[in-house]
Amino acid sequence: MLDRLKIGVLGAGNIGEALISGLVKASLVEAKQLMASRRSEVALAYLADTYGIRTTTDNCELVLENDIIILAAKPQILPSILEDTEHCFRPGQVVITVAAGISTAFVESWVKNDIPVIRVMPNTPALVGQAMSPYCLGRHGSAVQALVAAQIFSAVGVTTQVEEEMLDAITALSGSGPAYFFYLLEGLIEAGVSMGLPEHLSRALVRQTCYGAAKLVVETTRTPQQLRAQVTSPQGTTHAAISFLEQASTKELIKQAVLKAKERAHELGAGVPKPHLD
């Protein structure tokens, strides 16, 4: 489906580079089909040397020369980028945005021409090909464009189609989710050090424990609750730790933290300028 289509990644930072790398490694496209834009010429030179793709510092050039435009810029600067490039979009293109909180309707208001807009919320495990990338279609999207999005983002992990009203919650849970685990791991490593373990050993223990626990969740049919019960013997060491966490209402704190992230995702969308009108 991606044969002969030219794909431009506007704002090729971490997620953008992960997509480029995944597409090339999976042989879904040839390197010559890909183009990236960034302000940093040094970063672009690295992308060109590493992946053999086309590069430019001119966002309008990227839009003009490609069939699929992936908007990978940060949500705070995406409105100004769309304002600068609105005259560069043309009928027949497909636009994909990965900016948190930015609605398909907002992007559609700038690109016009009934161009299909797809909104995707990948997370940082895209860097190792293990992202979760929920996506939704805008007003002009079709099943064909859904397949395009699924194929592109399957290069860096798993995709699923959702309704757009779910995406703020998904951003909070899945998009920001890896950071919650990293924060927990930080605490576990610090706990190991505080008990007298060398930091390198504490890191190694926590890293492998995290990896093994994640594989249990992914590769068995047991729920996290069942897996926890399996390792929590009555009056044992794990029971002592879990009881302390429950007394501190840790689950409720986690829920409230995720709700804060959802609120911020909504604020990002609400804080962009009003959609452009003719």
User: Please, where in the chain does CATH 1.10.3730.10 lie?
Assistant: 177-265
Given this model, what pLDDT does residue 273 score?
A: 65
pLDDT tens by residue, 185-233: 999 999 999 999 999 999 999 999 999 999 999 999 999 999 999 999 9
The answer to whether 18 touches 125, Cβ cutoff 8 Å, is: no
Q: Which residues contact 147 (CB under 8 A, 6 or more apart)?
A: 1
Given this model, what pLDDT does residue 278 score?
A: 52
State the CATH class of domain 177-265.
mainly alpha
Q: Which of 64-68, 197-201, 218-222, 267-271 has the lowest mean pLDDT?
A: 267-271
Where do we find the tokens 């030179």? 45
* Nearest CA among 93, 84, 86 for reference residue 8: 93
pLDDT averaged over every residue in the chain: 94
| Residue 25: both structure tokens together | 């490694």
| Residue 28: both structure tokens together | 């879904």
User: Please, where in the chain does CATH 3.40.50.720 lie?
Assistant: 7-165
Strand ranges of the sheet holding 157-161, from the earlier edge strand across to the other edge = 54-56, 34-37, 7-10, 68-71, 94-97, 117-120, 131-137, 157-161
H or E stretch covering 135: strand 131-137
pLDDT tens by residue, 134-179: 999 999 989 999 999 999 999 999 999 999 999 999 999 999 999 9
DSSP states along 182-220: HHHHHHHHHHHHHTT--HHHHHHHHHHHHHHHHHHHHHS
Architecture of domain 7-165: 3-Layer(aba) Sandwich (3.40)
Rg (CA), the chain: 21
Residue 126 to residues 91, 103, 129, 229, 261, Cα–Cα distance (Å): 30, 22, 5, 31, 20
Whether the per-residue pLDDT at 32 is higher than 80: the answer is yes
